Structures are given as structure tokens and as C-alpha cells.
Amino acid sequence: MLKSIHDMKFVFLALALAIFTETLTTGTPLFSMWDSAVAMSVIVFLALVTKHYINSPLPAFAYATLIGIAICLPDTVLRTFFLDSIGKVGFLSCCVPLLAFAGLSVGGKMEELKKLSWKIVVLFLIVSTSCFFGASIIAQIGFTMKGII
């Protein structure tokens, strides 16, 4: 439980960065997004506590996803609050701090990355190319079905 509270320090930092980024990009005042910070903090805290008490190989992100889905089911009491408050923060604003933290965590493992050397570049190219063509095929199918193309 103490580890979950300790991890929340980083969550608050990430949320603060996400809300600040949202303020910069959309002009939404900081004080009007307090409910967004509360809603996201609650979900993340519940996910960390669940991860602590359920001994499984699933990451905390999976529990956060499941908790978010459960909260947003059509007949739940909290659905409106969570959807309205979390909807104020854009996806890109959440990605900025997460990618920054990912970069910092990878930066601490440079020796391991050096051992992978050129293999990581090949893997990156394969994954990027596959994602691009996969998304293009799905878009093509969708546009064809809608009669847009």
C-alpha cells in the first residue's frame, strides 16, 4: 500500500504535466480541470492498489483500463462525472508526459540498449512499417465500406 502511495507522486507529476499541456494547447483554464485530475488520480490509485493486492503478471495499466471500463458502463452512478471530467483532457496531452517518462526510463538502461545495437533499429522499422500498413489497410476497408473511396 505504501508503494502505491509512493507511485502516486509520479502520477501527480504526470497529471500536472498533462493538464498543463492541455491548458497550453486549448487555452482551457487550469482551475477548470481540477475534476479531471481527481478522476484520473482515483482510477490510477485504484489500479495501483489492485495490482498490489492481486498477485498476477498484469501491469497496473491493465487494471486501470478495466477499472475505467467498469466505471463507464452505461448504468453506473459515476459514469457522467468520469466521462465529463476525463473528456476535458486530450489524448495527446496525456501522451507527452508518458513519453517523457518512458524516455527517461530507457535512458537509464543505455548499456542494455548498446548490447542490442542494430537489432533495435530493425525491430523499430518492422513495427513502424507494420503499423503504418495495418492502419492503411483498415482505413481502406472502412472507407470502401462507407463508399467514400
Q: Which three cell numbers stand for residue 95?
A: 501522451
Q: Look at residue 145 and tell me whether its pLDDT is greater than 80.
A: yes
Residues near 22 by beta carbon (within 8 Å), at least 6 away in sequence? 28, 33, 88, 89, 90, 93
Domain boundaries, the chain: 1-107, 109-148
Cα–Cα distance, 33 to 12 (Å, whole number): 14
Does the reported pTM lie above 0.85?
A: no
pLDDT, tens digit (0-9, with 9 covering 90-100), for 58-113: 888 888 889 999 998 988 888 999 999 888 888 777 776 666 666 666 666 777 76
